[in-house]
A and B are shown apart, each in its own frame.
Chain A
């Protein structure tokens, strides 16, 4: 197991995702002799997990079952322990494409936060790229570095515990892309420019408030960035369900009886007292996230 490489069997030391149902999943550190409590009962690692295939159904002690899934950045995003507000898959997907990330890309990121985006970046830039991530909160920086090690991606990432607005990314002229998710991104635009390669690159800033976007765009333009573009992507989830629409009773239809040809057909749909039409459709969820943040992208031209 690694977050950047699939394997078939669950092994000691892996991180596996226990999938309980469509709204809950939990990461589990697989360890000989260890046990994990779920609402369906206990999972015993030595017998229930180790040596089993990823994707297997595991029956828990109370008779309920769960599926054990191979970790992916997307499953990690929905199950990771939050230490900060995190970026979700919809924004991550957009950021990855618009920053033009691919194997071999060198990326700078700040702040690291809970590492939701970091894992997705690492997956995309492996095996030859590198992530330089900056987090000014010491405990968070240490915790995320520990996670990278557990997830066997630490060879692809350098975590720096410093203030990106003051000290920058710790690298100069090496990055293909820079991502900013900090309260005052405009203070880090200069450092972003310095971190990018001489021949140019892409930058993205994530901000919840339009005032932050406004200031960031001004500084980006002043610093010579081009193709400045702000956008927002929202996810709509459609619940698939079967609905049944009852048909009202119009009473007997004299016209239908008058024509002998139709007599045979007419009673079929009209006759039952409580007839209805059943169909498959989707319904929107009652509430959905209406705003996460504005994504501002720009290109640094060659200098």
Chain B
């Protein structure tokens, strides 16, 4: 009712869109660009034909890697399963049950046969297939389907899909943050529209993107970044509308001490500071195009270690253009300073509504430093792949006070196969999705020195422990 035919436009794939390819449980984030070859699951494909189709359409990959929308439900009807055995007492593994050789199968593939047809051939040439039980036949077909089916679905990116994709493809890039753990963080930090959230992450921008999605363009996000510039490849994959980026600010973590001490000068009137900033801007320029091209490539993390070297090399050739460039750089520098000042202004009021940390750095100093920017009665979450650094955070927070409701947790995720008479937990499950320390800030007691909350229950707990275990 609410959505009529003409509303379809917003659900159609357009050129330049960031999309996610899906086959089975495999995802890959790509951008739709004309005549661009993309490798997905060992296959070259061109996405040009997808433009104009609706999101979530499944395409068949035909010759030359072009896409053809799949006809409705042709793969859903499995071949007849009428002949089936009851058990496997007479099935012998002699390695000769499949009469087709590897070469035969390759030939079939080269002939451009559809996956469905190849599977049919395999079944017909399997001497044991008819002796297998119905369930075993089902399983056989499913397995072959996974291997030979040539389809790809094109989805609109969401936090769910991207978090699952990163966890499946490149867990190292996101500090092994499992998607259910990310879900806990977003909820425990009470991320919602209209708040002011601080983020420190080295998860390729996935955590930042997830937060931006939950804020829907309302409020502000301040990304605290280490090194030369913020990493946001993951954010790009979300394909947010342009106005979402208006809410996004960034602030280099190396200026936090200065900001806290009130010595950060964002006007940069004196020439030496100007020069320093200038150099930084130059470095960044070297790095910036790199990040753009490298979306999703493994080199991102090395970005912040690259500095002036490249700049030095290029200098000779660029002598002529230098003047022009200087002008441009000055403009960029001005823009950068403006952004820094804007982010500093947001931080200085020290009234942020939430803090999310998920990085490869030691979380303790980051947490203790950034908590100072939060209003009282606001939630914070810290992620770490290991438990030990969070134990240290917990201990330090208990010592210094200013927080309540501290909890160190992790979640355990189990998937189930649900099929008639074959329901059980999946055989393979994820070993660990990392740990989360969460809590709430409170007003710091001015009448007692730090370390005073010893009268609270943690002390009692320690006492008890000594009694029982000491």
Chain A residues near B (Cβ < 8 Å): 4-6, 8, 19, 21-22, 53-57, 67-70, 72-74, 89-90, 92-94, 96-98, 100, 102-104, 120, 123-124, 126-128, 172-174, 197-200, 210, 213-214, 217-218, 228-238, 240-244, 280-282, 294, 296, 299, 301-302
Give the interface centre of B215, B217, B409 by most chain A CB atoms within 10 Å.
Answer: B409
* Cβ contact within 8 Å between B186 and A218: no
Q: Which residues of A contact B409 (CB under 8 A)?
A: 235-238
Selected from A4, A103, A128, A241, the residue in CB contact (under 8 A) with B214 is: A103
Q: Which of B40-67 contact A (CB under 8 A)?
A: 54, 56
Q: Which residues of B contact A302 (CB under 8 A)?
A: 11, 54, 56
Q: Is the interface of B mostly helix, strand, loop or mixed?
A: mixed
Is the C-beta of B380 less than 8 angstroms from some C-beta in chain A?
no
* Cβ contact within 8 Å between B379 and A74: yes
Beyond known contacts A22-B407, A231-B416: 16 more, CB 8 A cutoff: A6-B194, A21-B456, A54-B376, A55-B440, A67-B404, A74-B190, A93-B186, A94-B183, A97-B179, A98-B160, A104-B216, A127-B193, A172-B1, A228-B418, A241-B461, A294-B416
Across the interface, name the chain B residue whose C-beta is closest to A64.
B455
Shortest distance between the CB of A109 and any CB in chain B (Å): 16
Q: Which residues of B contact A237 (CB under 8 A)?
A: 407-409
Stretch at the interface among B251-259, B290-298, B390-398: B390-398
Q: Which residues of A contact B183 (CB under 8 A)?
A: 93-94, 96-98
* Cβ contact within 8 Å between A97 and B443: no
* Cβ contact within 8 Å between B2 and A197: yes
* Cβ contact within 8 Å between B214 and A94: no
Q: Which residues of A contact B387 (CB under 8 A)?
A: 238, 282
* Cβ contact within 8 Å between B405 and A233: no
**Chain B count of residues within 8 A CB distance of the other chain:** 72
Question: Which 3 interchain pairs have the tightest Cβ spacing?
Answer: A55-B376, A103-B216, A55-B377
* Cβ contact within 8 Å between A72 and B190: yes
Selected from B184, B353, B376, B394, the residue in CB contact (under 8 A) with A56 is: B376
Q: Which residues of A contact B415 (CB under 8 A)?
A: 229-231
* Cβ contact within 8 Å between B441 and A242: no
Across the interface, name the chain B residue whose C-beta is closest to A227.
B22
**Separation of A6 and B56 alpha carbons in the complex (Å):** 37
* Cβ contact within 8 Å between A97 and B163: yes
**Separation of A198 and B404 alpha carbons in the complex (Å):** 46
Supposing A214-B423, A230-B418 touch, asked if A240 and B394 sit within 8 A by C-beta, the answer is yes
* Cβ contact within 8 Å between B194 and A4: yes
Q: Which residues of A contact B440 (CB under 8 A)?
A: 19, 55, 69
* Cβ contact within 8 Å between A67 and B158: no
Is the C-beta of B467 less than 8 angstroms from some C-beta in chain A?
no
* Cβ contact within 8 Å between A100 and B461: no
**Separation of A120 and B387 alpha carbons in the complex (Å):** 28
* Cβ contact within 8 Å between B465 and A127: no
* Cβ contact within 8 Å between A217 and B391: no
Q: Which residues of B contact A235 (CB under 8 A)?
A: 409-412
Residue-wise, chain B 401-431 has the 8 Å CB interface mask toward A (1 for contact) of: 0001111111111111010100100000000
* Cβ contact within 8 Å between B56 and A55: no
Supposing A72-B190, A92-B187, A199-B54 touch, asked if A22 and B160 sit within 8 A by C-beta, the answer is no
* Cβ contact within 8 Å between A103 and B411: no
Q: Which residues of A contact B218 (CB under 8 A)?
A: 103, 127
Supposing A21-B457, A126-B193 touch, asked if A282 and B391 sit within 8 A by C-beta, the answer is yes
